[in-house]
Structure 1
Amino acid sequence: MSTQQAETVTTSADKAKLAAAGLLVVGGVAVFYLLGQQDLWVRVLSLLVLMAAAVGVFLTSAQGKELIAFGQDSVKELRKVVWPSRPEATQMTLYVFIFVVVMALFLWLTDKALEWALYSLILGWK
């Protein structure tokens, strides 16, 4: 049985940053609709600016820094992956397609055999 601890916001500064980011998101949506009489590009620009500000505020919090570190670690791990060569990938794809066709034929034949046995032999329907 594994016990996992839930991540919580520990400092009041982080709480304030997350609250500010949430308010910026809500404010961006509100401004988008409050500027209904303005041109669309003004509304979208104001929404994008406030969303970018919300992302910026979030990334300065502890959770944002953890997210950035996770992304950097993911990129490092992705560089360690040994990718198959093109011929290997093509060969494996061909194997998968052949397997799918063989399984489709097997399932079709099984279905038809069961249909024949059930309807013709057992029920006597034609």
Structure 2
Amino acid sequence: MATSQIETVSTSADKAKLAAAGLLVVGGVAAFYLLGKQDLWLRVVVLLVLLAAAVGAFFTSAQGRELTAFGQDAIKEMRKVVWPTRPEATQMTLYVFAFVVVMALFLWLTDKTLEWVIYGLILGWKH
């Protein structure tokens, strides 16, 4: 199994893009509240425009391109997965429900037994 090493080189342009994206997000939120006396639709439009600009700035940076590549690789891997059929999924769900019921009964029985031993036999308390 080969291990892949990812080498990241962060240029000052990428750092500037990330800083711009962060400032655009902060600016969008600030503008939303500073325009408090304006109509709601205007405040929302300003917020969405600045957030879209922040997303655009992020995805033009190296980190944004890496995130896009990661997403594409994840989609490729998802296509390789063999999903269970409906009867298999139903059967496994029933197994899980049965296990939960058995564990609940076991824990209840254990709790009642310990309660009886500690309070009834050891301490002599009556309920």
- Indicate whether 1:100 and 2:96 are aligned: no
Match of 1:80 in 2: 80
Match of 1:61 in 2: 61
- Indicate whether 1:40 and 2:40 are aligned: yes
Aligned sequence identity (%): 83
Mapped to 2, the partners of 1:26 and 1:102 lie a distance apart of 52
- Indicate whether 1:122 and 2:110 are aligned: no
Shift of 1:37: 1.4
Shift of 1:98: 0.6
CA shift digits 1:18-50 (9 cap, x unpaired): 121112112111211221111001001100000
Aligned AA for 1:11?
Answer: T
CA shift digits 1:67-86 (9 cap, x unpaired): 00000000001111111111
Mapped to 2, the partners of 1:67 and 1:25 lie a distance apart of 19
Mapped to 2, the partners of 1:13 and 1:64 lie a distance apart of 13
Shift of 1:8: 6.5
Q: TM-score, normalised by structure 1?
A: 0.89
Q: 1:21 to 1:9 in 2, by over 3 A?
A: farther
Greater shift in the superposed pair: 106-115 or 92-101: 106-115
Aligned 8 A contact 1:9 1:15 in 2: no
Quote the RMSD (CA, aligned, Å).
1.7
Q: TM-score, normalised by structure 2?
A: 0.88
Q: Which sections of structure 1, spanning at least 5 residues, go unmatched?
A: none
Q: How many residues are matched? A: 121
